[in-house]
Amino acid sequence: MVALGGRPMIAWPLAALRQALGCVAVVAKPDTELPALPPGVDVWREPSAPTHPLTGILEALRRAEGRAVLVCAVDLPLIDATLVARLARAPAERAPAVVTVAAGRVQPLLARYEPQALDGLRGAAPDAGLVATVLALGPALLDVPSAALLNVNDREDLRRAEQAIGRWAGDDWGAAAPLG
């Protein structure tokens, strides 16, 4: 529900995902308050526990009915449709996932998980970190611009995101901010 550029932060990655993929679902805890979402965006409620990002990835893979899922955290507002399409088409070379990396930093919440990732992720230790869990799968890595992985976790990150998207802010959820 955090506002960024005059609209909920979720609007930014959601616009990029919708533009590149068409079929989009939001995975959230049962008690998560969501803003009004555009028509055609499904909401999949994940279990209340555990509170770990892996829970949402597992829920998405379970509901995807044998299809790959492209995961994007709501707090990555600077992705664009070009990057999403590139990730969606990136060759997995038999790897169970394609995970983005920028300047050596792996971002498992901007990744494509193939159906075969489900078993490996399901078997992860409950207290294991997400990066270590995903890297243990042996994913393919996709280099992306560092700006794309601006993760908004505090006020300073939000300020930096506001500066980056300020000139593209608007009311149209169908338009994503370019990274250029």
Residues 6 or more apart whose CB falls under 8 angstroms from that of 163 comprise none
One-letter amino acid for residue 20 of the chain: A
Report the candidate in 101, 100, 77, 76 with the shortest Cα–Cα distance to residue 88.
Answer: 100
Beta-bridged to residue 99, according to DSSP, are 111, 141
Helix and strand numbers, DSSP H then E, in the chain: 6, 8
Q: Where are the alpha helices (DSSP H) in the chain?
A: 11-21, 53-63, 81-89, 117-122, 130-135, 155-165
pTM over 0.75: yes
pLDDT tens readout for residues 41-89: 999 999 988 888 899 999 999 999 999 999 999 999 889 999 999 999 9
Above pLDDT 90, what percent of the chain?
59
pLDDT tens readout for residues 166-177: 645 443 434 443
Give the start-to-end residue ranges of the domains of the chain. Answer: 3-167
User: Is residue 78 within 8 Å of 44, Cβ to Cβ?
Assistant: no
pLDDT tens readout for residues 123-158: 888 788 999 999 999 999 999 998 888 888 889 988
Q: What is the CATH number of domain 3-167?
A: 3.90.550.10
